[in-house]
Amino acid sequence: MEADYVIVGAGSAGCAMAYRLSEAGRSVIVIEHGGSDAGPFIQMPGALSYPMNMPMYDWGFRTEPEPHLGNRTLATPRGKVIGGSSSINGMVFVRGHARDFDHWAESGAAGWSYADVLPYFRRMETWHGGNGEPGEFRGTSGPLHVTRGPRTNPLFHAFVEAGRQAGYEVTSDYNGQKQEGFGAMEATIFKGRRWSAANAYLKPALKRPNCTLVRAFARRVVIEGGRATGVEVERGGAVEVIRARAEVVLAASSINTPKILMLSGIGAASHLAEHGIAVVADRPGVGANLQDHLEIYMQFASRQPITLYKYWNLFGKAWVGAHWLLTGGGIGASNQFESCAFIRSDKGVDYPDIQYHFLPIAVRYDGKAAAEGHGFQAHVGPMRSKSRGAITLKSADPKAAPRIFFNYMSHPDDWSEFRKCVRLTREIFAQEAFAPFVRHEIQPGAAVASDAEIDAFIREHAESAYHPCGTARMGRRDDPMAVVDPECRVIGVEGLRVADSSIFPRITNGNLNAPSIMVGEKASDHILGKGTLSPANSEPWTSPHWRTAQR
CA-to-CA dists, residue 449 to 97, 420, 445, angstroms:
32, 12, 8
Residue 294: predicted pLDDT = 98
Q: Which residues contact 226 (CB under 8 A, 6 or more apart)?
A: 280, 493, 494
Residue 39: predicted pLDDT = 87
The residue annotated as part of the active site, out of 33, 357, 467, 526, is 467
C-alpha 232/C-alpha 450 separation (Å) is 55
Strand order in the sheet with 186-187: 125-127, 144-148, 186-187
Residue 363: predicted pLDDT = 86
* CB of 501 closer than 8 Å to CB of 515: yes
Nearest to 406 by CA among 393, 389, 391, 394: 389
* CATH of span 150-184+294-382+409-461: 3.30.410.40
Residue 132: predicted pLDDT = 63
C-alpha 455/C-alpha 414 separation (Å) is 10
Give the 3-state DSSP-derived string for 60-89, with helices as H, strands as E and coil as C.
CEECCCEHHHCCECCEECCECECCHHHHCC
C-alpha 46/C-alpha 49 separation (Å) is 8
467 catalytic per annotation: yes
Three-class secondary structure of residue 296 per DSSP: strand
Residue-wise pLDDT for 477-508, tens only, equals 999 999 999 999 999 999 999 999 999 999 99
Residue 351 CB: number of other CB atoms within 10 A?
Answer: 21
Residue 27 CB: number of other CB atoms within 10 A?
Answer: 19
Amino acid identity, residue 100? D
Phi first, then psi, for residue 548 (nearest 5°) are: -115, -10
Is residue 6 within a helix (H) or strand (E), and if so which, with residue range? strand 2-8
Could you say which residues of the chain have pLDDT below 50? none
Which is it for strands 144-148 and 186-187: parallel, antiparallel or unpaired? Answer: antiparallel
Nearest to 117 by CA among 139, 93, 148: 139
C-alpha 282/C-alpha 273 separation (Å) is 11
Give the 3-state DSSP-derived string for 173-240, with helices as H, strands as E and coil as C.
CCCCCCCCEEEECEECEECCEECCHHHHHHHHHHCCCCEEEEECEEEEEEEECCEEEEEEEEECCEEE
C-alpha 394/C-alpha 374 separation (Å) is 44
Q: Which architecture, in CATH terms, is 1-63+76-142+196-290+468-536?
A: 3-Layer(bba) Sandwich (3.50)
C-alpha 432/C-alpha 299 separation (Å) is 18
Residue 92: predicted pLDDT = 98
DSSP state of 450: S
pTM over 0.85: yes
Domain locations in the chain as residue ranges = 1-63+76-142+196-290+468-536, 150-184+294-382+409-461
Residue 386 CB: number of other CB atoms within 10 A?
Answer: 12
